[in-house]
Chain A
Amino acid sequence: MSKDVWVVVETLRGEVLEITYTMLAAGRGLADGLGGKLTAVLLGHDAEILASTLGAADSVTYVDHAALADFTPDAYLRTIAGLVKGAAPRVVLLGYSSMGMDLACGIGIELDTPVIASCQTLDVEAGKPRYVSLTCGGKVLAEGELPEPACLVTMVPGGYKPQSGKKEGAPKVTRVAPPTALDDLKVKLKGYIEPEAGDVDITKESILASVGRGIQQRDNLKLAEELAATLGGAVSASRPVVDQGWLPTSRLVGKSGKSVKPRLYLALGISGAPEHAEGMRDAECIVAINTDEKAPIFDFAQYGATVDVLKLLPVLTEKIKQAKGS
């Protein structure tokens, strides 16, 4: 049985996505604990340069092909499944993400390999690799051993600081040919659509007042806007608010939206489900207001309160105004 750990690198338009570094941090610990090797698997076209940031791995397997220039589910799935079949690593890490989730289950079924999803941390205990996964919107944790002889794991951010998975340095890069034919693809990329240019770039704001379902009505947004204005920040939102059309997608924080690292993130009526958390958990200071004391947001906020956010906002705004002397 192999002891090797693989990380499937995610890239988008010439950049390595952050989740890759989380996986490298996790993978490094796992490989060291098992006594095996950590390999980063990079797919692309004329993209070998991207391997230079993958120094946390012992080696990089790079597959170059025109059909792999951009991520498409069919071409990537065939390629990675073929590589995994050939080398049979112990664990393959993929992102619990738009790309990773298109791949993991397909590879699992094709190779009859189990899949463990939504994993936050991995470690080795008595020589056996173990996982801890988040479930039920982050309200429940599940743990266990990684099945033998091999398994696929999709990872969520949060268990590791991406910094610890980033190492400069030139890992050994091995170019391999695509293991299977890449013709007659069932999914092809037609093109990209840029996100709407919003009035505000929330990734550049140092203070965000972020609203979730707890804001209840569109009418109540102005309470958050007043607070944000008083603090010199901006309003952002979780998915339910954007889905209702109360704020544009440019304000969305989370898996499908933006990742923000402001000095202050006020989570107002946000439950903190993983899809949102991954967009904001690295903020310097997180203050969460939610009437549900069991809301997952309190797991990674530094400060919290269970008062009614609609009552708090005007009072807080007023006190801040007084404190600022304006």
Chain B
Amino acid sequence: MNIVVPIKFVPDLVEELEIDASGVALDRTYMRLIPSEQDDHALEQALLLKERYGGKVTVVTLDTGDVDEALFTAIAKGADRVVKVLGEGFAEGVNNHAASSVLQAALKDIAYDLILTGTQAVDDLDGSTGPLLAARLGLPFVGYVTGVKQADGGVVARKEYPGGLVAEMEVALPAVLGIQAAENPPRYVVTSLVTEAMKTAKIEEVEAVEADSSGAAQVTRMYLPEPSERAEMIEGNVDHVADALVALLRERGLLA
């Protein structure tokens, strides 16, 4: 089963987020970009399927910043090919409509049976890459997937619903699946293997076709939530906070 894993780089929420001077976008000056967590899961799921059924895993990403290390890490984990798509203006941020149109073109020369990508990313404002890409390619899409296995003529995907209920969906290939969580947590890769990949592996580069970003949301204002709408904060040290909470619980009759 040949699998393509598109990876999107998103702001790392560990860092403080700021709005830029335009007031409609995030300030990217100090922003750390990391692979979207669910895309890491998608890669892990792809590698698990490769281990089970054979085939090749190709990782594709748009060159939105410092992406090389993540690509070499993918190689060290077991990906066969890594492709970086270069394009003007990518560093300023790319919405998912544009990204999916770029990916659609980049995938023209890659043979695949299955595309796995994270079911959503933290900065999705115009839908998610997976279903947009599927629609552009004319492929079926199933999201919220937490397990995949091969079956006659396709795969069976485990799709999560609220309350922990799971639906098993039979999906004809080729198809796109949105991964919520891989069957195992993303594997650890020893640093020396990544360093080695940096020396021996090659990142393929392709030029992007013109991105079609129509269909994306118009943002007239981006902002951080107002402090006044927030919780009543209890100040002080642990003892003080604990005392305040005990009083609160007593007041609400929760200490009975």
Contact = CB atoms under 8 A, between A and B. Distances in A.
Chains A and B share a contact (CB less than 8 Å): yes
Interface of A: 12-13, 17, 70-74, 97-99, 101-102, 104-106, 108-110, 112-118, 131, 133, 135-145, 147, 154, 186-196, 207, 231, 239, 243-244, 249-250, 252, 255-259, 263-264, 271, 273, 285-288, 293-294, 296, 298-308, 311-312, 315-316, 319-320, 323-324
B12 to A, nearest CB: 10
A139 B31 CA distance: 14
Given A136-B123, A141-B225, A316-B245, A108 B215 contact: yes
**Residue picked from B214, B239, B245, most chain A C-beta under 10 Å:** B245
A302 B231 contact: yes
Contacts of B136: 109
Contacts, number: 270
B125 to A, nearest CB: 6
Interface string B162-189: 1111111111100100101100010000
B238 A109 contact: no
Contacts of A133: 125, 217
Nearest to A109: B135
B253 to A, nearest CB: 9
A294 B16 contact: yes
B137 to A, nearest CB: 10
Interface in B6-30: 11, 13, 16-17, 19, 24, 26
Contacts of A293: 233
B120 A256 contact: no
A239 B250 CA distance: 30
Contacts of A114: 126, 214-217
Interface residues of B, number: 83
A256 B26 contact: no
B165 A257 contact: no
Contacts of A12: 161-162, 165
B36 to A, nearest CB: 12
A196 B164 contact: yes
Contacts of B168: 189-193
Contacts of B123: 135-136
B182 to A, nearest CB: 9
B55 interface: no
B134 interface: yes
A105 B135 contact: yes
Contacts of A255: 162
B227 to A, nearest CB: 9
Given A17-B162, A192-B168, A307 B233 contact: no
25 contacts: A12-B165, A74-B140, A97-B162, A105-B141, A106-B134, A108-B127, A109-B136, A114-B216, A115-B217, A117-B126, A117-B217, A140-B19, A142-B125, A189-B168, A231-B249, A256-B160, A258-B162, A259-B162, A287-B248, A299-B225, A304-B231, A305-B245, A307-B241, A311-B238, A323-B255
B13 A101 contact: no
Nearest to A245: B185
A304 B220 contact: no
Given A98-B161, A144-B220, A324-B255, A139 B170 contact: no
B230 A299 contact: yes
Nearest to B147: A193
B233 A306 contact: yes
Nearest to A193: B166
A147 B215 CA distance: 9
